[in-house]
Amino acid sequence: MSTLIDGIRKNSFVVFGRAGMDMFADPQGTKAEVAETFRSGLGGSSANICAGLCKLGGQSALVTSISNDCVGRYCANQLRHYGVDTQYLRVLDGEYRISLAVYESTMEDFQLCIYRNNAVDFQVTEEDVDRVDYNAFGALITAGTVFAAEPSRGSTFRAFRNARNAGLPVIFDIDYRPYSWPSPEVASEVLSRAGDESDLIVGNDEEFGFMAGDMDKGLDKARELARQLGRIVIYKMGQKGAITLADGQEIRTGIFPVTAVKPNGAGDSFMAGLLAGIAEGRDLREAVLRGSACASIVVSKPGCAPSMPTTAELDAFLATYPGPTDN
């Protein structure tokens, strides 16, 4: 586990996956189908993680493809706004399009509509991943959506090998989105392979259950993955908190209940807070709790990347919050 922790503590991450544009109905509580005004923000799991890491004092670079249009340029500008290194973005002409997510800031019959026709982020090639200077980073992060189609699937597995050759640990957020995959069978096989090749695996109970082929056996799958020496597995259970499996131990942690205005963005913010906590030298339990607090902050506000906390905002939240729930 020391190689994984040492890599994270360098606090510099190369991240693979999608960027996108979020549009959320305004004012808060408005349903999308009757909204007259929408606000925009950076979205996409990997882009959100990048922004979250930067806001918490880390460094991140995103490796992805974006469309050569105003929405692609919007996302590139937003990444730079948050301090994300954009040197590995590749701009594609033609009919490829960057992701667009339309949603609401209300938990009542919450609606999220994602447009991913001809998704440009699937066009990341082996040449794209080979031009990354892996020695400039401490760890590689990817979200599972990159594996849903070629060429990004094979290219990201190649990036895993490149990272290994450079001595970087691999961090994997399962992030299973059924609409991106050709079939559940393909998804289960590919995501399981990605888990086997990773040093830190983060997912929720449904995602681990899906990888196990049985929704009742998700924790068993997480435990099986955690038997690999040096690997950390974090099994998230929503309102029930999380179980962190490492070195034969199981660390149970609670959550920080808030009044949520949306469910999305929580996992991305959790990942950023977790890694930032480890990078700061905190023990694993405290780092997981800081990730949980970041998730609570994000779901309590409109937008994803715009709602991710800075270190000062996270510390202020923790200082005033009575503490996590018991688990």
Q: pLDDT at position 323, please?
A: 79
Q: pLDDT at position 132, please?
A: 98
Q: pLDDT at position 147, please?
A: 97
Q: pLDDT at position 63, please?
A: 98
Q: pLDDT at position 275, please?
A: 98
Q: pLDDT at position 2, please?
A: 83
What are the residue boundaries of the structural domains of the chain, listed by start?
A: 2-320
Q: pLDDT at position 1, please?
A: 66
d(CA 289, CA 279): 14
Q: pTM for this structure?
A: 0.97
Low-confidence ranges of the chain (pLDDT < 70): 1, 327
Of 79, 92, 89, 155, the residue nearest 119 (C-alpha): 92
- Check if CATH label 1.25.40.10 holds for domain 2-320: no
> What is the longest distance spanned by two Cα atoms in the chain?
54
Helices (H), the chain: 2-8, 45-55, 70-81, 126-130, 152-165, 184-196, 205-212, 218-226, 266-279, 284-299, 311-320
DSSP string, 93-153: -TT-B-EEEEE-S-STT--EEEE-TTBGGGG--HHHHHTS-GGG-SEEEEEGGGGGSTTHH
Q: pLDDT at position 315, please?
A: 97
Q: What is the pLDDT of residues 308-318, one digit of tens each?
A: 999 999 999 99
